Structure formats: structure tokens, C-alpha cells
Structure 1
Amino acid sequence: GVGKTTLAKLVYDDAKVKQHFELRLWASVSTSGGFHKIDITEQILRSANPTYPASIHSEPTLDMLQFHLSQLVASKRFLLVLDDIREESFTSMACQEILSPLSSAEKGSRILVTTTTASVPAMLGASCTYHLNVLDIEDLWSLLKKYAFHGGPTHDSTQELEEIGRNIASKLKGLPLAAKMLGGLLGATKSTKTWMNVLDKELYGDSILPVLELSYSYLPRRLKQCFSFCSLFPRNYKFNKRVLIQLWMAQGFVQSQNSADKNMEDLAEDYFEELLSRSFFDVRREACETHYVMHD
């Protein structure tokens, strides 16, 4: 919730980074169920070639995958992001085994790791570490306000809502994801009563999960169905927006609401945009995904 993965994605997608590295590779370590070496290696390969597994008919072995990875990076300069390494699933030996095929790469390659565990950088022999600070109250309120008022307050009770909103922001432990989620929730109602109800909730410990649960509980039933459907896919799965909308329609989640001027696909698009405005999706180019803690 503090923004580690978001910052890593900004680096990964930066134009200068794309120009400097011939290959950019990514694996979400926490999604692999206990630092699963085969899964992580497959993720790395798929990040370079999304259709990679389609050409393999047999169940891949680690040796087979590492051979392909070694060929992929040979004499190339790469950036590899290992996102969200956790101590309980991490050993130095397992990580070295995964990274061993990368020795064929060009000098100047780099590995960027995100983690909440202080011991991980030392175990990896990191040359440089960066510690992300939480947001201060003013920055947190600015972020919450951006999502709640969509760029500019217009409600008659704006002054009262701002006072409540600042009090909410002061209890969020500096977590930007919490501010985005609650901002989307509050912006959907503009009700002083709802804002006060949120302020009174016990949501403000060190965990982001209570905020996510509250945001989900305030979703209309039709949106709950659509978002819950996404849990059938793996964490960090990248959805194509058009395909996801078609899947919702095929499941019967999109119901006409006497909107004569809108067809089913337009309604499904509205569903998606509402979930996006509440920060249930993160969209980058043609792909969208859910935050891994939302998947939980």
C-alpha cells in the first residue's frame, strides 16, 4: 500500500529505461506460492514474450525454462524486476538458482527488487537500497481529495466534507493506496453521512485490508459480481479491457437498467469505468490489473 510496485512500474515503463535496456523482464514473486522457481522463471519469460508457453507442449521443467532464459538474455542488457519478495518464501540459494541463467547477459544489466522485508537486500547482496516513506497528511489528503472530488469540488457541503476528509486522511498511516480507495468510495456518494460513517470506522491500523473490504462493501451488487469474477484469474493477471467486458456480458453480469440509449457493451463499459474510478483497477496502455492485496 505504500507504492513500491507503482514506483517500480514507473521505472520499468520509463522511456529512457526502455532505450537503455534491450530487454525488460518482470516477475511478481509473491504470486508464485512460496518462491516457486518454475513459476517465477515462466513469468520472466512471458514478460519478454507473452505467447511464450504456447509453443511448449510438455510440462516445462526448470532446466528447460532456464535454458530458454539463458538464450533469451545472451549478450543482451536487461532490466529484471522481482516484485514483492517476502522473507517467508525466500532463500538466497533459491534466488541464485533462478538468476543463474542470467550470467549470459551483457554487462550493465540490472535487477530491481521490491520487498517489505529488511533482510532481503542483504541476502541478495544489493548494491543500493531505497526506503519509501509514507505520505505526510497533506499529501495524503491531496490524493484522497483528487479521487473524491475528481479534480474539483462542486458539492454545496464542500467545506464540511473537506474537514471530514482531512480527519480521514490523518488516520490512514500515510498509505497512498488507502487514500485512493477511500477517495473513490467517498466521491461516489458525496454524502456527509457516508463520509462520517467512514471516519467512524476502525480502519486505520497498519494493514490496508480493512480499507479494501470497506470499499468493496460499498460497491453496488452489479459491480461486486464483476470484480469478484476477476478473482478467478491469478494475481497480477493482466486483463484486456475489451475481453474482460465481453466475459462479464457472457456471464450475465450486465443487466439493462431501462437505458434505451445504451447497449449492453456500453453498460459494461460504464461498469468498468466505475470500478476504475474507485481504484479497483490499475490501467496501463491496453492492459488492466488488480492490486495483489485486492485479489486476497
Structure 2
Amino acid sequence: MKFKITEQTDSRLDHFLVASTELNRSQITTLIKDGLVMVNGLTTKAGYKLKNSDEITLNLEAKEETNPLKPKNIDLNIVYEDDDIMVINKPKGLVVHPSETFSETTLVSGLLHHTDTLSTHNDDPLRPGILHRIDKDTSGLILVAKTNEAHKILAQDLKSHDIKREYIALVEGVLDHNKGVIDAPIARHPKIRTKMAVVATGKPAITHFEVMRTFRDHTLLHCKLETGRTHQIRVHLAYIKHPVTGDPLYGTKAKILKDGQLLHAFRLEFVHPITKKVMMLEAPLPPEFESYLVTLG
């Protein structure tokens, strides 16, 4: 795909391409970072100011050649596995599944290397086996379906809130009460597309919380999801003015941590889709979370 600037302009390269193609800003940014956008035969930055006579080339064919579902040998922390399901303790920093704009190493890459059996019940072909996800910089337990039968049953259990997902979160400030329920609808942020927000017209979202420990300027919380909206715990805790410590999107900017937010999915409780056995699995806090608690005394 090629473009030639035929008049004087002060438009940025990324803005021009978003307006001139069917690709969104995230996709354009990724193409530029990957060196698949050239101006006058040279790679450049997204903020490059275009000039009259500049020639722009997008190498979309090269992007399409990369296989986002390529298996990769990564060190999976498998908490449980049988012929039907797996439970993985995902480390902080690992994306769960690839997307149109992210095709680097993901949890799915590791799953494909580990097993030839993953469900294809998902409508999204980039998410084999994935029933639910947690954010890149959130650690903890993820339930994976290996067969379509298991996936179908577990997806229904998720929809009916029969799968219990519990988190430990360290938040800013000290709460006034020991337990509570946050019932506030969530939708895409009206102005910042990378964020979610409490919006009156959003989807119902309910988070239960209970204080585990109080520090001088922080509180350790046990949170239970009743619903599973994107960024739910992070949005809800920020909404009550106690954002997750280190959260780069919803937290205090001066307190952003190098490794992201201190939020860990520590417990999963569900009925096995095939054996009907009640399963309760836990994962301990990761070392960096424990270390931070030690610094708080």
C-alpha cells in the first residue's frame, strides 16, 4: 500500500495513516514500530511530520506473514491439568492471547507448544482454549479448556457466575470499612479508548471486597468478582478512590511501579465440566508482590 503527499501538510505520519486506511491507531502504531511503514524508503517514528512529496509505503504483506499462533516454548506454571482442562498460574508481564496488533509471545503460544489439544469453541480463532483472561500485568490463575465440550460447559458456568474468581489487591490509602460491595456499571471510557470507566449506561459490574491487612498508607484486599468486565477490579477500586498500587492506567501517576499493578488472581473455584468434581485451586502471591509487602512492614 503506497501514498504520496501532494501538498504541504503538518500532519503526523500515524494520524495520516489512520485517516487514510481502515486500520486503527493501535494497528498503525504497531506497524510503524515493527518497521513496516517507510517514508521515502526509510523507517521513521509515528510522530514524523509529513512534507510535500513524501512517499509512504505500508508493507502489510509482511505483517500478514507472521503467525500469531506460532507455538513457543515458555515455562508454563501448570497448577492443574487433565484431558479436559488446565489451570495456569500466569506470571505478570505475559499477555494471554494474541490480537490483530500484538503477535509476540503470549500464554496461547506456550499452550500450543505444550499440548496439541485446545478447544476451538471460541468465536475468536486467536484464543484457542481461552475462557477468560487477566490483564498483562496481573498475575494469577487462568482456566483453559482443552476440549470443545468442556469449553461449552465452562463458558455457560462463567455466564451464570458459577465460577468463583478471587483476587488479592494492594490498594492506595486506608479504607473506612472492613468489607463492602461495589455495584457500578462499566463501559469503555468516553474519551480515552484505552481505558474503561464507571458509566451509567455500561454493563452491570459487581465486586465484593474485604480488608485482609491495613498498612500506614495502603490496604491489602481480598476481592471477589461477581461479574467479569474488562479491568473490573482496577476500575472499581479507582472509582472508590483506592486504586490498585502501581496501576499505570487507573492509579496515582507518581506511584506507578516498574512491574505494573499489585493485583493477583489467587483462587479459582468451579465444578469440573466433565467429572462434576468441585475444584478449588490457589496460587501464592508472586515474589515481587511479597517483596513490596515486606517494604511496607
Q: TM-score, normalised by structure 1?
A: 0.29
**Higher RCO (Cα < 8 Å, 6 or more apart):** 1
Q: TM-score, normalised by structure 2?
A: 0.29
